[in-house]
Amino acid sequence: MLDVAIIGAGPTGLACAIEALQNNLRAIVFDKGSICDSIRRFPVGMTFFSTPEQLELGGVPFTTPNVRPSRREALQYYRLVAQRLGIPLQLYTRVERVVRDGDRFTVKTDRGNWHARFVIVATGYFDHTNRLGVEGEDLPHVRHYYTEPFEYSGTRVLVVGGKNSAVETALDLWRHGAQVTLVHRRPTLGESVKYWLRPDIENRIRNGEIAAHFSTVVRRIMPGAVELERLDTSQRWRHECDFVLLQIGYRPDAEFLRRCGVEVDPHTLIPRYDGATFETNVPGLYVAGSVMCGCETWNIFIENGRAHARPILADIRRKLGASVRSAADQPASPA
């Protein structure tokens, strides 16, 4: 019997485990992949927007000579945190659902079942990409994730999106010999584009080194080409390309939450939870980190997601204390 089962071994899940261990609670962190599996699948050359101290966990210093850490440095840091603080991990274990059974939960996985008094879901959103919903989206030359540029050198690549992922991808591809076209449904790039990237991408577009079509959407994807439409004029045309990279964002696994009994808004995909304790409509089941933000993925990051651990564990500790006091108040059994 665990005190707390934590689903998701990203920074927020690790923060919850650290808080549980510091409160002498028995906890295990489950993940269907590796430690910080989402970060591992980020583009190889990615640099974080945040400074190292904003990513730290458990009082373990994040040391780096760089102002902003790289993906590789972050992965090494979080691995070190898990090892140094002795966080119990059950990796490469897929949690299928969580079932409330009286005063405990059954955590059903593809490697057996565990029992826990409380459950924290910290699964993030990187596993489920937004989709265009157009014909041809599942063709083999269409990719929803980007890792590194060398596969695309010397080819024609259409990048769809206008925020950080799309901008970083377009610049990385251009610098490694790809012919890049950027397509974005808005009239301009997203306001959240990192301040050091914006002048870079704007100069590349201005110089004609990266082609860009704003107020434009993809209507159909075909082998070797896409059909584009300009929204303000309804003009359609065929654009030839070898690859299509859809960098249009991600969303949480709402179906998993629903399988656990959590109510999810059908439009925003935001789960129902208490704003102070992060407990969902299922008593004893909490959400933490970016899984809470539904489609509004720009609201929660590592920096503020890690802070959810403390109020969640404070509420769990309070409930465990109440349970102990309740048991102590019961009359003794007759001899």
pLDDT tens digits, residue range 108-164? 999 999 999 999 999 998 888 899 999 999 999 999 999 999 999 999 999 999 999
pLDDT bin (cut points 50, 70, 90) of residue 294 is confident
- Confirm if 312 and 286 have CB atoms less than 8 A apart: yes
Strand-pair partners of 159? 182, 245
Same domain, 281 and 306: yes
State the residue range of the domain holding 208.
131-246
Model confidence at 330: pLDDT above 50: no
Same domain, 163 and 227: yes
Same domain, 149 and 58: no
- 298 vs 168: CA distance, rounded Å: 17
- What pLDDT, on a 0 to 100 scale, did the predictor assign at position 324? 47
- What pLDDT, on a 0 to 100 scale, did the predictor assign at position 335? 37
Residue 164 lies in a domain: yes
Residue 225 lies in a domain: yes
Residue 335 lies in a domain: no
Model confidence at 296: pLDDT above 90: no
Residue 116 lies in a domain: yes
Residue 189 lies in a domain: yes
- Confirm if 287 and 300 have CB atoms less than 8 A apart: no
Same domain, 70 and 184: no
pLDDT tens digits, residue range 216-243? 999 999 999 999 999 999 999 999 999 9
Model confidence at 331: pLDDT above 80: no
SS (H, E, C) 62-81: CCCCCCCCEHHHHHHHHHHH
Same domain, 235 and 270: no
pLDDT tens digits, residue range 4-26? 999 999 999 999 999 999 999 99
* Among the listed residues 126, 105, 121, 125, the one whose alpha carbon sits nearest the alpha carbon of residue 16: 121
User: Taking all residues of the chain, what is their mean pLDDT, rounded to a whole number?
Assistant: 93
The pTM assigned to this predicted structure is 0.88
- What pLDDT, on a 0 to 100 scale, did the predictor assign at position 325? 46
Residue 222 lies in a domain: yes
Same domain, 138 and 239: yes
Same domain, 275 and 192: no
Helix (H) or strand (E) holding 188: none
Share of the chain above pLDDT 70, in %: 96
**Last-in-domain residue among 204, 230, 246:** 246
Q: Write out the two tokens for 63.
A: 């040391």
Could you give the 3-state DSSP secondary structure of residue 246? strand
143 contact partners, CB below 8 Å, separation of at least 6: 243, 244, 245, 246
Residue 41 lies in a domain: yes
Q: Find the angle CA(35)-CA(38)-CA(40) to the nearest 5 degrees.
A: 70
Same domain, 215 and 257: no
Residue 333 lies in a domain: no
Mean pLDDT (whole number) for 190-215:
94
How many domains is the chain built from? 2
* Among the listed residues 73, 112, 58, the one whose alpha carbon sits nearest the alpha carbon of residue 90: 112
Same domain, 172 and 220: yes
- What pLDDT, on a 0 to 100 scale, did the predictor assign at position 239? 98
Same domain, 214 and 264: no
- What pLDDT, on a 0 to 100 scale, did the predictor assign at position 332? 45
DSSP-derived pairing of the beta strands 225-230 and 216-222: antiparallel
**Last-in-domain residue among 200, 217, 246:** 246
Same domain, 212 and 280: no
Q: What is the CATH number of the domain that holds 317?
A: 3.50.50.60
Same domain, 111 and 6: yes
pLDDT bin (cut points 50, 70, 90) of residue 298 is confident
SS (H, E, C) 125-137: CCCEECCCCCECC
**Last-in-domain residue among 197, 220, 246:** 246
